[in-house]
Amino acid sequence: MKKIILVLALFSLISSFAQENKKVQQDKLIEEYLTNCAEKYNYNIQMSERQACLDEGLKIDSTIAYLWQQKAMPYFKARKYEVGMTFLDKAVQYNAERWQPYRGFIKCIFSKSYKDAILDLEDCKEKFGNGYVMDHTYDFYIALCYLQLNEYEKAETILQNYVDEIYKNRQQLEHHTAYFYLGIAKYELKKYDDAITVFDKALKIYPSFSDVKYYKHICLMYVGKNEEAKEVYAQIKDDFKLGYKLNEDNVIYELYPYQLQGYFVGL
């Protein structure tokens, strides 16, 4: 029995050492072929050169998930979603916990494959718990998908749970974007007074949020508060022009659901 325990302990030690050694070797390849090669090229105008660097690294070790993700990322930003997804699928294959949530996010915000995004993110929740990707929980992106699929009650329930959880967890600041989308769900469900209340919570955090003001003014008109609606509308164009918009990191690449656009306010 002691011999068996000793053999198992030795096997575990060897396995741990092998994993650590593999990580060290992969980190060296990432530095050589990503940091010191691919990142020297601007993928907007030197995509082939950047991709060639990454390919050289993957020839040596095709299991480096981060190099696959780095091959995928610029294609999504270039809106070549199917090309990028073939590489991102490889990243998920080699490190699902790290890259499957990101794939769900990409499907939601970039390629707008909403049903696929829900499947991916629900699977992530089952395997890894309701973690975070791009500053929000997996549930947040699932809710955005439901908004885009016109399943507003599902979106409302998920987003209400999200903002309630944020409120309870005082270590995390309340998020104006979460309130924006909860307000949108209520707006779509014709709960206009409730939507206005939620939009006001977003504006308390981000007072010049033009996207929120746009939908708030619509709700105000629906409940017959036309003068107040005019006052809110009068602020939108200036706020929008000054850049007080939806400020998620990836709005520079993609339109988010219900994102205010200039032609809505005559720009």
C-alpha dihedral over 6, 11, 12, 18, to 10 degrees?
A: 150
Question: Does residue 155 lie within any of the structural domains?
Answer: yes
pLDDT tens digits along 142-193: 999 999 999 999 999 999 999 998 877 654 556 899 999 999 999 999 999 9
Tell me the mean pLDDT in the region 73-89.
97
Instruction: Check residue 6 and give its pLDDT.
Output: 56
- pTM of the model as a whole: 0.89
Decide if 142 is inside a domain.
no
Q: Assess if residue 209 is contained within a domain.
A: yes
Q: What percent of the chain has pLDDT over 70?
A: 90
Residue 169 belongs to a domain: yes
Cα distance between residue 188 and residue 153, in whole Å? 9
> Who's near 24: CB < 8 A, 6+ residues apart?
none
- In this model, does residue 18 exceed pLDDT 70? no
What is residue 13's predicted lDDT score, i.e. its pLDDT?
54
As a whole number of angstroms, the distance between CA 73 and CA 213 comes to 33
Does residue 137 lie within any of the structural domains?
no
Residue with tokens 């090229």: 41
- Which three-class secondary structure state does DSSP give residue 132? strand
Q: At what angle do helices 192-205 and 210-222 cross, to 10 degrees?
A: 150
C-alpha span between 191 and 189 (Å, rounded): 5
Q: Structural domain tally of the chain? A: 1
Lowest mean pLDDT among 38-52, 91-105, 131-145, 163-177: 163-177
Q: Which domain holds residue 191?
A: 150-267
Q: What pLDDT, on a 0 to 100 scale, did the predictor assign at position 129? A: 95
Say what the pLDDT of residue 10 is. 53
Q: Is the pLDDT score of 14 beyond 80? A: no
Position 10 in a domain? no
Residue 160 corresponds to which amino acid? Answer: Q
Question: Phi and psi (nearest 5°) for 149?
Answer: -100, 10
Residue 113, phi then psi, degrees to nearest 5 = -95, 80
What pLDDT was estimated at residue 1? Answer: 59
Task: List, for residues 199-257, the tens digit of each pLDDT value.
Answer: 999 999 999 999 999 999 999 999 999 999 999 999 999 999 999 999 999 999 999 99
The domain that holds 170 is classified in CATH as: 1.25.40.10
- 27 within some domain: no
What is Dmax (Cα atoms) for the chain?
84
Q: Tell whether 3 is covered by a domain.
A: no
Q: What pLDDT sits at residue 11?
A: 54
Q: In 169-180, which positions are buried (b, 16+ CB within 10 angstroms) versus exposed (e)?
A: eeeeeebbbbbb
Query: Which DSSP symbol is given to 44?
Result: T
* Dihedral, CA of residue 133, residue 91, residue 252 and residue 120, to nearest 10: -50
- Which pLDDT does position 126 carry in this prediction? 97
CA 259 to chain centre: 15
